[in-house]
Amino acid sequence: MPQSRTQHTLARPVGVTGIGYWSGQEVRVEFRPAPVGAGRFFVRDDLPGAPRIPATSASRNDAQRRTVLAANGATVDMVEHVLAALAGLEVDNCEIGVTAAEMPGLDGSAAAFVEAIAQAGLTAQAGLVRPLVVERPLRCGDADKWIEVRPPMGDRMSIEYRLDYGPDSPIGSQWLVTDVDARAFIAELAPARTFVLKHEADALIARGLGSHVSPEELLIFGPDGPIGNQLRFDDECVRHKVLDVVGDLALAGRPIVGHVVAYRSGHQLNGELVAKLLMDEQQSQQRKSA
């Protein structure tokens, strides 16, 4: 059974500034302390009334290649690395003030967000965390790509991910299994960067997106490997996919205690799994109370 722990928030505000991949717009993200039970939520500081957007499954909007949240007439885009950093470091309650819709791409990883949160430090709060413990297997996807959550193998979330784009891809087959605790997240997942294939990058630029992004800001793979960049890990791509899973599953609003197994899953399937898991928990509680 999972061990209970106190809720955490930041000891002080701390910020990160950068440029959005898609928009090219400068944005400041400020992580701020929040009260017990507040959860994680974005605040659009740049909009009248500073609308709040809860970082929950109910706020998720479908989007290609990224996770987008919308509520109260406002949106935030590319939130997965921000949420992964908060969830990976066990920050349960946090106000995330932003000055634009899109989060900064930075170097394509969550490392800068992790560094900022670590500098601010955490403070324990009076309330206890109520984890979401997986009771039975749940799956989203098809034979080509899928994600499944199973009852836990231990007292926390673990993730098993297989990445395979076929024999003709410059990205070889990769497989990773890891427990998701703060130490492993900081060392093994947070530094792993966003990656795209050269033809995908060219297609985005042709649509007027990301033309300002250089190979130093993410991994662009040509036929012979990364262009103008070096891998931080031999299996950096699968590590980044696991990083994305951590960020997307953070939309549960509580730590998930279960074993996640995925094959080529992306943001949409990850988000669908969270919604399915929350619905299953609700139905289970209704059956038990009937």
Residue numbering of the annotated binding site? 81, 240, 244
Catalytic residue from among 8, 199, 212, 267: 267
Separation of alpha carbons 86 and 216, rounded Å: 24
Count the helices and strands in the chain (H runs, E runs). 6, 20
Q: Are strands 94-98 and 40-44 parallel, antiparallel or unpaired?
A: parallel
If you write DSSP's letter for every residue of 91-129 in order, what string do you get? --SEEEEESSSBPP-TTSSSHHHHHHHHHH-EEEEEEEP
Separation of alpha carbons 19 and 288, rounded Å: 48
Task: Specify whether 212 is catalytic.
Answer: no
DSSP state of 56: S
Separation of alpha carbons 270 and 141, rounded Å: 9
Catalytic residues: 267
